[in-house]
Structure 1
Amino acid sequence: MNQLFKEHIVVAQNASGRNMNVPMYRFVGAKPGPKVYIQSSIHGAEVQGNVVIYQLIQWLKTLPICGEVLLVPNCNPVGTNIKAGEYTLGRFDPVNGTNWNRGYYYDDCFIRKFAHSIEDEESVASIKSRFRLEMKQQLQTRLNETWGIGLAQHLNLKLQQLAFDADYVLDLHNGPVSTRHLYVPEYAKESASLFNIPHVIFMPQVFSGALDEATFCPWWLLADIVSSKRQKPIDFAVEAFTLEMGSQEVISFTEGEYDAKSILTYLTAKGCLPKCDILPEKMSRKAVMLRNYKTLFTRQGGIVEYIVKPGDVVKKGEVLAKVLNVDNLDTDEATTEILAPCDLVAILHFPSASVLSGTQLYKCFTEYFEL
């Protein structure tokens, strides 16, 4: 059966000089196979992924594994503990203001330089091994920067060292008030239907700082260069996804079991779980290209009733929300309706009823299609 190893990694130090550790649960199967990396809670308020990892651990104690699965719950203990009253303010590094999910490393020039070192007859396995080694050296160099680096970037680079060893990387997130949705690199479209997630965003080969991009962008670019050089398709069999599993600040063990099974269906399809018989659900899956995943900003501030819920399909001109202006309660201008600018699917909305002008009120699928 599988071996389970529990380790800890130091990701930061607090102001008292004490190390801040996070646990890592490593399952090693009896037979060779792919490496999988799964983390949760890079943003402090996004806690449901910890329950999903708990449920995964229960399954992986009994399911034979080919290869290795590394699970890192609560990977950002700093963010988890930034509280203001009942709210968790763990989206940004409190010292430097950096988004905790935007400090990962990517260097186009390094990848192109590495590609020039590849001999015509070098095997895919050899290329992967050398690229991983050199990439991790790049990450360590940045961690050892003479002038130091910010807290968020330090955390990201430590986690990226773990993730870049993996063939399949899953970063578990939550939206503010959100339905399930999945970010998928365009080259991995076929994998979108392996998860029980009804809304899919296809990502281009563009790096914006997130972990999934820091994983798939280097391999994608390297595959393109080597494929062009050898004039045949090269597949390094590396995929990375961001899974958004509902709303932040809440957990559900029932929903966690559902999402754990969703991940198990993906790992089964990728050859990691040879004895697992859980299959993807037959369900409607709506997809959109990233450029058509739109944010609706408010033109006015006020107090908002969110009429459309995450996951709702909306026609152009229908009412999304209603805004109350307390300075005009005695006039006809006391309320304003916010209308859908086009046909859309609401994916998430702002968590508070009190909004400033320019607030990201809704994020929506436009020009979507069925998978």
Structure 2
Amino acid sequence: MNKFIKEYLVVAQNASGRNMNVPLYRFIGTLPGPKVYIQSSIHGAEVQGNVVIYHLVQWLKTLPICGEIILVPNCNPVGTNIKAGEYTLGRFDPVNGTNWNRGYFFDEELVQQFAQEVTNDETIPDIKCKFRQQIKQQIQQKLEQEWGLGLAQRLNLKLQQLAFDADFVLDLHNGPVSTRHIYVPEYARKAAMSFNIPHVILIPNVFSGALDEATFCPWWTLQELLSAKRQTSIDFGVEAFTLEMGSQEVISFNDGEYDAKSILAFLSAKGSFLSHSFEPELMRRIAVTLNNYKILYTQQGGIVEYLAQPGELIKKGQVLARVLNVDTLEDERATTDIVAPCDVIAILHFPSASVLSGTQLYKCFTEFFELEASP
């Protein structure tokens, strides 16, 4: 049987000086295997991942695990509780405006220095253990610095300490009004075939502050440096992904079960279970490189009807949305059609019907292609 441990991590204190805790669910198998870290709701309005983790907990009570799986639902209770009327304003730290998902640690010079110090007789497991210790020590030093840290960065670093121990990291998110999609580093594109997610964004090994990048960038950089140094291919087997589970501010237990099985299929392919109990669905997966994942901005303000639904293919010149201008209701200027500048797949759109000029109206796939098992 798996060993189950429930712990609590203090991530902040409120203005009354009381600790704000998040639960950690640990499932440890009887046989060795990969370590997995999964978190949800780093942005407070993105709540569907909590339902996914609920279903994962139910499955992991009985599935024979190899290795360890750590689940951290609702990892940002501060963001979840920032409400304005009917809406959750949980994307940014309200004190200093920092994005809750942009305060993780990465130091490329540190990785380069570490690579120079690795000797030729050190094994891959020894290198991984030593590298993890060094990165986690650097994170702890930042947490303990006497000048302190902003709330968002402190939260991020505490979570990163947990995540950096893992071989596979999944960060569960939601778009505003969105279809399922996943961010996948280019080197791990084959892994996208193990998830039941039809839309794939291939991202370069460049750190922009998010948790997935803070996980795979150090390992990929070290891999490249040591492969060149030893004149042989080195693979540390560490991968990280951002999964967008649909729309924010809503949950669905049925969808949560579907996405939990999708994650279990991925973990099964990575050796987390004694048997391959879960298989990915046979489905068409459409991919795009990050530079072709485009934002369509509104040229005018007004009230918008979103005609293109998330996941829908829209041909060049077809109408994506219609804008109503209440200052000109008496003539033909009352409505304006916003058309697709090229063939696109609408992935998500702005959640409100009221928009200012320059609003990010849609995010779309352009120059997309079908993803195959091998590049």
- What is the TM-score of this pair, normalised by structure 2? 0.98
Q: Which residue of 1 aligns with 2:180?
A: 180
Q: Which residue of 1 aligns with 2:70?
A: 70
Q: Which residue of 2 aligns with 1:166?
A: 166
Query: Helix, strand or coil for the counterpart of 2:303?
Result: strand
Whole-angstrom distance in 2 between the partners of 1:144 and 1:263: 35
Deviations 1:346-366 (A, max 9, x none): 000000000001100000011
Measured after TM superposition, the shift of residue 232 of structure 1 is 1.2
Whole-angstrom distance in 2 between the partners of 1:234 and 1:291: 28
Q: Which residue of 2 aligns with 1:323?
A: 323
Measured after TM superposition, the shift of residue 275 of structure 1 is 2.6
Q: Which residue of 1 aligns with 2:140?
A: 140
Whole-angstrom distance in 2 between the partners of 1:354 and 1:362: 14
Whole-angstrom distance in 1 between the partners of 2:358 and 2:146: 40
Q: Which residue of 1 aligns with 2:238?
A: 238
Measured after TM superposition, the shift of residue 189 of structure 1 is 0.8
Q: Which residue of 2 aligns with 1:45?
A: 45
Query: Helix, strand or coil for the counterpart of 1:333?
Result: helix
Q: Does the alignment pair 1:273 with 2:267? A: no
Deviations 1:152-200 (A, max 9, x none): 0000000000000000000000000000000001110110010000000
Deviations 1:320-364 (A, max 9, x none): 000000111112100000010111110000000000011000000
Q: Are 1:298 and 1:360, in contact at CA under 8 Å, matched by a contact in 2?
A: yes
Equivalent residue pairs, number: 371
Whole-angstrom distance in 1 between the partners of 2:305 and 2:232: 54
Q: Are 1:63 and 1:276, in contact at CA under 8 Å, matched by a contact in 2?
A: no
Task: Supply the AA of the counterpart residue of 2:49.
Answer: G
Q: Which residue of 2 aligns with 1:291?
A: 291
Query: Helix, strand or coil for the counterpart of 1:300?
Result: coil
Q: Are 1:63 and 1:275, in contact at CA under 8 Å, matched by a contact in 2?
A: no
Whole-angstrom distance in 2 between the partners of 1:275 and 1:25: 22
Deviations 1:208-264 (A, max 9, x none): 100000000000100000011111110000000000000000001000000000000
Q: Does the alignment pair 1:344 with 2:348? A: no
Q: For 1:12-51, list aligned pairs within 5 A.
A: 12-51=12-51
Task: Supply the AA of the counterpart residue of 1:73.
Answer: P
Task: Supply the AA of the counterpart residue of 2:146.
Answer: T
Q: Does the alignment pair 1:254 with 2:293? A: no
Whole-angstrom distance in 2 between the partners of 1:360 and 1:138: 37
Q: For 1:82-231, list aligned pairs within 5 A.
A: 82-231=82-231
Whole-angstrom distance in 1 between the partners of 2:342 and 2:143: 46
Runs of 4+ in 1 over 3 A off after TM superposition: none
Whole-angstrom distance in 2 between the partners of 1:23 and 1:221: 32
Whole-angstrom distance in 1 between the partners of 2:205 and 2:191: 17
Whole-angstrom distance in 2 between the partners of 1:96 and 1:254: 37
Measured after TM superposition, the shift of residue 121 of structure 1 is 2.0
Task: Supply the AA of the counterpart residue of 1:343.
Answer: D
Q: Are 2:179 and 2:311, in contact at CA under 8 Å, matched by a contact in 1?
A: yes
Measured after TM superposition, the shift of residue 38 of structure 1 is 0.2
Structure 1 residue runs of 5 or longer lacking an equivalent are none
Task: Supply the AA of the counterpart residue of 1:67.
Answer: G
- What is the TM-score of this pair, normalised by structure 1? 0.99
Whole-angstrom distance in 1 between the partners of 2:370 and 2:112: 36
Whole-angstrom distance in 2 between the partners of 1:276 and 1:62: 14
